[in-house]
Structure 1
Amino acid sequence: MITIRIAILCLAAGLAAVPALAAELIMVERDGCQYCIAWKKDIGPAYPNTEMGRYAPLRMVDISDAPPEGVEFASRVIFTPTFVLVEDGRELGRIEGHPGEDFFWGLLHRLLTGKTGYDGPG
């Protein structure tokens, strides 16, 4: 019985040490959207390898679908792509459209530093 209690305590301590995802970036896209295709080509491959991408992992959803389960958007998404920053299922902010690689990273950095605890490079 004591061995089971010790095992449970060790498991609980180990789980407590695993950090929760601070944020998530949801890309709302539409089939055939040229700006979505451009983003996936120009930025998509690099995104998960950046500090911002690791801080706010990307999830892609179709505009015709409801928001992912447990996620609430502040308003309806109209334009694609739209990048919605969420934390704990709640929208913190968004980037509408694909402003090009030069502007995307700066806009995302401003969104992350202004709305989350992110303090890494842009």
Structure 2
Amino acid sequence: MYALALAPALALALVLALVLAPGVRAAELVMYEQAGCVWCAKFNAEIAPAYAKTEAGERAPLRRVDIHEPIPADLADIPVERFTPTFVLVEDGTEIDRIRGYPGDEFFWHLLDTMLARLPESP
């Protein structure tokens, strides 16, 4: 009985350890954006609702960063442009590739596939 009560706590501890372990970071697609950006809004309407449900979204989850807010410490080595949106594929704190601007839904998926192909294969 005691073991059953302890199981959820152990499962939570394992998940937290995996998520917070240093050096264990998956790829992510960082979207640098700003309020009032028409092309950001277009991306939000055409791509964002489905992105997380796609294979690309699972491999590189979308992370949004407002260019007018402090840049997170883990992205300090990634150059920030003032042109928005800018999409930067990052893995382990290193930039893999970027898309400057939003080229429309069909071109976006094609460019993203090209970027994702540059990632090392998942173990």
Give me the TM-score of the superposition, normalised by structure 1. Answer: 0.75
Q: What pairs up with 1:60-99 in 2 under 5 angstroms?
A: 60-99=64-103
Query: What is the match of residue 34 of structure 1?
Result: 38
Query: Structure 2 vs 1, CA of residues 112 and 73 (structure 1 numbering), >3 Å: closer, same or farther?
Result: farther
Query: What is the match of residue 6 of structure 1?
Result: none
Give 1:118 shift: 5.1
Query: Structure 2 vs 1, CA of residues 81 and 37 (structure 1 numbering), >3 Å: closer, same or farther?
Result: same
1:26 alignment partner, SS class? strand
**Unmatched 5+ stretches in structure 2:** 1-9
Alpha-carbon distance in structure 2 between the residues aligned to 1:118 and 1:39: 27
Identical amino acids, percent of aligned pairs: 45
| Number of aligned positions between the proteins | 107
**Unmatched 5+ stretches in structure 1:** 1-9
The amino acid across from 1:35 in the alignment is W
Give me the TM-score of the superposition, normalised by structure 2. Answer: 0.75
- 1:42-98 deviations in Å (ceiling 9; x for gaps): 000010000000000011111112332212444331210000111111221110100
Query: What is the match of residue 46 of structure 1?
Result: 50
Alpha-carbon distance in structure 1 between the residues aligned to 2:28 and 2:114: 15
State whether residues 84 and 101 of structure 2, in contact with CA within 8 Å, keep that contact through their aligned partners in structure 1.
yes
1:70 alignment partner, SS class? helix
Query: Structure 2 vs 1, CA of residues 90 and 65 (structure 1 numbering), >3 Å: closer, same or farther?
Result: farther
- Tell me how large the CA RMSD over aligned residues is: 2.5
